[in-house]
Amino acid sequence: MTTRVPRLVLLISGRGSNMEAFIRAIEGGTLQATIGAVISNEPDAAGLEIAEQAGIQTRVVPHREYGNREVFDAALATEVLAHDPDLVILAGFMRILTPVFVDRFAGKLLNIHPSLLPKYPGLHTHQRAIDAGDSEAGATVHYVTSELDGGPPVMQVRLTIRPEDSAESLAARLLPLEHQLYPAAAALHLSGRLHLSNGLLELDGEPLPATGIDWRP
């Protein structure tokens, strides 16, 4: 009897640098999974060609062709389900998803956000951290819920903010760490050690801290 290799579906809107990180992690053997499909809401997303070159199926569900978010999300969910995923990865997917989609994939939908959540949900996270005088910035992989950037954190990586840092330099230094963090969090989910129930996240039966695991590269 063959063991099923866990299957991922990745959602992108642009080049998909996090998508490439997953491809590398799988090829390098640090993530035991396969990518069933890469799906974009943008027909000209550069990441589609990158995925095709890696031999991965691609699909487009163009959001502009749907009357509202809920109708688009229903169509997107149907396409994702066609690829039978164990885990859905938001890899630079630039759409706010409604409960029509989120509830369908509750507990197996991950996102990465460039801040130490619960600090700075939303946009301009690095500039907000600098303006607040924070000593650290970072990124958080979290389960997606209907609350924007509000789902339970799985893992965080931290980075010291230097006096000379700008939002751009901070983002550039953090990005390689994000590319390691995200596949590591996905691997932990696929191991079956995480359990999400009623918004509470447990690892091996023990509650995780509110900010998730403090991950070190």
- Provide the annotated active-site residues: 113
Count: domains in the chain: 1
The boundaries of the domain holding residue 27 are 7-214
Instruction: Look at residue 197 in the predicted model and tell me its pLDDT.
Output: 82
Examine the pLDDT at 196 and tell me if it is beyond 90: no
Q: Please provide the DSSP assignment of the chain as one string.
A: -PPPPPEEEEEESSS-HHHHHHHHHHHHTSS--EEEEEEESSTT-HHHHHHHHTT--EEE--GGGSSSHHHHHHHHHHHHHTT--SEEEESS--SPPPHHHHGGGTTSEEEEESS-TTS--SS-HHHHHHHTT-SEEEEEEEE--SSTT-SPEEEEEEEEPPTT--HHHHHHHHHHHHHHHHHHHHHHHHTT-EEEETTEEEETTEEPPTT-EE---
Q: Give the span between the Cα atoms of 75 and 65, in whole angstroms.
A: 11
Confidence band of 31 (pLDDT split at 50, 70, 90): very high
At residue 126, the pLDDT reads: 98
For residue 2, what pLDDT is reported?
64
In a domain, 1, yes or no: no
Q: What is the CATH number of the domain that holds 90?
A: 3.40.50.170
In a domain, 2, yes or no: no
**Domain-located, residue 85:** yes
pLDDT at 185 over 90: yes
What pTM was estimated for this model as a whole? 0.96
Amino acid 217: pLDDT = 86
Q: Is residue 34 part of a domain?
A: yes
Per-residue model confidence (pLDDT) at position 3: 82
Q: What is the pLDDT of residue 1?
A: 58
